[in-house]
Structure 1
Amino acid sequence: MKIAVFPGSFDPFTYAHKDLVDRSLTLFDKVYIAVGVNASKKGLMGNEERKLAIEELYRGQDRVEVGLFTGLTVEYCKKVGATFILRGLRNTKDFEYEDPIAQNNLIMAPSIETYFLISRSGTAHISSTIVRDILNNGGNVDKLVPPEILAFVKG
């Protein structure tokens, strides 16, 4: 089985994230969406809330699992039997950030490859940071965040 881990903070999970996961299902048999836990960060949503919201979005999709993790992504990959890490790239700045991480992951775990998927032009402008900023200023994010996730965000 080809198993991938898609790690991130997903605070909140956006249409851009969903597009990457949905497209990756043509490449992988199973995708673990790994919600990173960072105790020092105060986000829009709590860790468990992010996990539950994404599970709701993928309810009925048995090829997608959602989990929480701390520590190194490659260690989480080993735990779930994944040999691929999935990352999305919106622009060259993302590549410059992601490339050294991928290179170091390969040194730590040579059997785990990182696959980059380029964001579609219709989602490349979406980031969780921008979504949080819009929400914090009372704006509408209905076109940026799936309704299943918005139900958790708007509480």
Structure 2
Amino acid sequence: MQVAIYPGTFDPVTNGHLDIIKRAANLFESVIVAVAVSTPKRTYLNLAERLELLKAATSHLANVNVKPFSGLMVNFARKEGASVIIKGLRAVSDFESEMQVALMNKKLAEDIETIFLMATTEYSFVSASIVRQVAIVGGCLEGLVPPEAAEILQRHFRRR
């Protein structure tokens, strides 16, 4: 069975992330959405919220599992029996940084491939950081994130 991993912070999960997950689920027998436990980036949603949102948003995809991870992605991939890491790209700027990470992963684990999936035009402008900015000022999140994520973001930023 070919297992692929789609890693990220998913802070929050966006419809762009979900598009990549659905497309990966059509390409691989099993997809693990790996949610970073800790990251150099500051997360706005806690790990439990991020896991809950992803599980709800992917519950209709039988071959997708959501799991937390920490440490090196290639170590997690080996532990899970994955041979592929999926990365989504929106723009050339994404490619630059993701290529460096992919090359480092290849150096650390020659047997694990990184595959890039291009964002569809509909979601090419959507990023978790821009969604958070919209949420902070009370803007409409419809079409950017799943409804559950919109609710949590609105509650989270209303408290601030």
Normalized against structure 1, the TM-score is what?
0.94
1-side partners of 2:73 and 2:38: how far apart? 13
2:140 counterpart residue number: 140
Partner deviation per Cα, 1:41-88 (whole Å, 9 max, x = no partner): 542210111001110112243211101111111011011110000000
2-side partners of 1:115 and 1:40: how far apart? 23
Unaligned runs of 5+ in 1: none
**Secondary structure of 1:154's partner?**
helix
Q: Does 1:127 align with 2:127?
A: yes
| Cα RMSD, aligned residues only | 1.4
By how many angstroms is 1:121 displaced? 0.6
Higher helix share goes to which structure? 2
1:66 counterpart residue number: 66
**Secondary structure of 2:106's partner?**
helix
Q: Which amino acid aligns with 2:117?
A: L
- 1:62-141 aligned at under 5 Å gives the runs 62-141=62-141
Identity of aligned residues (%): 36
2:37 counterpart residue number: 37
2:158 counterpart residue number: none
**Secondary structure of 1:26's partner?**
helix
Mean alpha-carbon deviation: is it higher for 85-94 or for 54-63? Answer: 54-63
Relative contact order, higher structure (CA 8 A, sep 6+): 1
Unaligned runs of 5+ in 2: 156-160
Q: Determine if contact 2:9/2:36 at 8 Å carries over to the other structure.
A: yes
1-side partners of 2:8 and 2:65: how far apart? 14
Mean alpha-carbon deviation: is it higher for 54-63 or for 20-29? Answer: 54-63
**Secondary structure of 1:103's partner?**
helix
By how many angstroms is 1:106 displaced? 0.6
Mean alpha-carbon deviation: is it higher for 60-69 or for 79-88? Answer: 60-69
1:50 counterpart residue number: 50
How many pairs are equivalent? 155
Normalized against structure 2, the TM-score is what?
0.91
